[in-house]
């Protein structure tokens, strides 16, 4: 999934319900309306790579990203996540 501008918290909640328990290699949400609240819907899912470039995710969403325990790689270019937020992920 990529480039769906209208994708927000409600839609991501539905998607998270569908993929819960299913290992995903990659979920690309670049250029969407995904926010911190939307990322929180992914907590507990099994995603290895998550693409969030040019989304509305900020440092407030970092805690939710930490709840995706299978996450190996996350792309954050163009988000509101600061260097301090990135350091808490590593």
The tens digit of pLDDT for each residue in 14-59 reads: 888 788 888 889 999 999 889 999 899 899 899 999 999 999 999 9
Quote the pLDDT of residue 87.
93
* pLDDT exceeds cutoff 60 at 1: no
Indicate the pLDDT class of residue 4, thresholds 50, 70 and 90.
low
Sign of CA pseudo-dihedral 85, 61, 69, 52: negative
- Segment 49-75 shows an average pLDDT of 95
Could you give the CA distance from residue 47 to residue 82 in angstroms, rounded to a whole number? 22
What's the whole-number mean pLDDT along residues 3-7?
58
């Amino acid at each position: 999934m990529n480039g769906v501008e209208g994708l927000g918290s409600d839609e991501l909640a539905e998607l998270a319900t569908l993929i819960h328990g299913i290992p995903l290699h990659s979920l690309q949400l670049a250029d969407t309306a995904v926010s911190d609240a939307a990322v929180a819907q992914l907590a507990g899912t099994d995603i290895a790579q998550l693409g969030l470039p040019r989304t509305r995710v900020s440092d407030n969403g970092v805690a939710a990203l930490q709840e995706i325990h299978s996450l190996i790689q996350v792309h954050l270019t163009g988000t509101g996540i600061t260097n301090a937020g990135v350091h808490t992920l590593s």
